Amino acid sequence: MAAEAGESKLLPGPADGAKDGAGAERKAADTGNMVYIPPGEFLMGSDDRLRDEKPALVVYVEGFYMDRYEVANRDYKRFIDSTSRTPPENWTKGLWPPDKGNHPVIFVDWHDADAYCRWRGARLPREVEWEKAARGTDGRRYPWGNEWDMNKSNNPLRGHEGTEPVGSFEAGKSPYGLYDMSGNVWEWVDDEYLPHAGSDYASPEFGSKYRILKGGSWWDCMFYGCGISAPTFNRSFFDAGTKNDSFGLRCAKDAR
């Protein structure tokens, strides 16, 4: 059930004294191209930027799996062939654009993303899961650390127009080894657009109309200024039916 406005969709907290960290016991192995994110606490949000990113708060998340890479066109093709779902609008006669098989699928709305993950036996990640997978447990601003580096992601400042193959930026990986958690394409998450727990910001956009996207893209931060969409805690929101050339996805799965 969706959380009401003013409530949080954060996962349940741990028993007293439970902590996360590099030494946490791993209870499951990597599964194909999914990476295990161990249970524990991390810092979510930020106190120094946009109103809907506040407040910064410590959150506990149960262990889960998440895709190492964004879903590529060749992955999505198997879904299209299996389900007869309408292909993305940049495909021709059911085929992805030439030489784009390993690029992230684009022109998918939240409903497409949700259906794809369910078809795979997975699900869309929750916002709190996505942010932990991108940020780790040391409160970093970007997947690779705290200093902005335009060469560690596919962002507009590099001057490349369009997506790049998934996994192209080895130095830009998250602490858990996930690629493209900043830049390339925005990624749909499961959550409705609601405030963080403890927030005093009342936006007229909060509620069930919009779904959240995370991670920035190849295009959008030239719109706002250097690196503003690149931070791990950045949030964007759109109507669930929105499709464009900078929206994509990756999937998650419960660790049980």
C-alpha–C-alpha distance, residues 85 and 152, integer Å: 34
Q: Supply the range of the domain harboring residue 59.
A: 34-254
Distance CA 221, CA 247 (A): 14
Structure confidence by residue, pLDDT tens digits, 177-217: 999 999 999 999 999 999 999 999 999 999 999 999 999 99
158: closest CA among 106, 216, 102?
Answer: 216
Sign of CA dihedral 71, 76, 64, 31: negative
- Could you tell me if residue 10 is inside a domain? no
pLDDT in the model for residue 233 = 95
Report whether 79 contacts 91 (CB < 8 A). Answer: no
In a domain, 21, yes or no: no
Q: List, for residues 189-198, the tens digit of each pLDDT value.
A: 999 999 999 9
What pLDDT is recorded for position 23?
32
Within a domain: residue 151?
A: yes
Does 25 map to a domain? no
Question: In 10 A of CB 196, how many CB atoms?
Answer: 23
State both tokens at 152. 């560690």
pLDDT tens digits for range 24-46: 333 333 456 999 999 999 999 99
- CATH number of 236's domain: 3.90.1580.10
Q: Is residue 102 part of a domain?
A: yes
Residue 210 in any domain: the answer is: yes
Do the domain assignments include residue 5? no
Q: How many domains does the chain have?
A: 1
Give residue 13's pLDDT. Answer: 32
**Residue 14 resides in a domain:** no
The list of the chain residues with pLDDT below 70 reads 1-32, 220-228
DSSP run (H or E) holding 134: helix 127-135
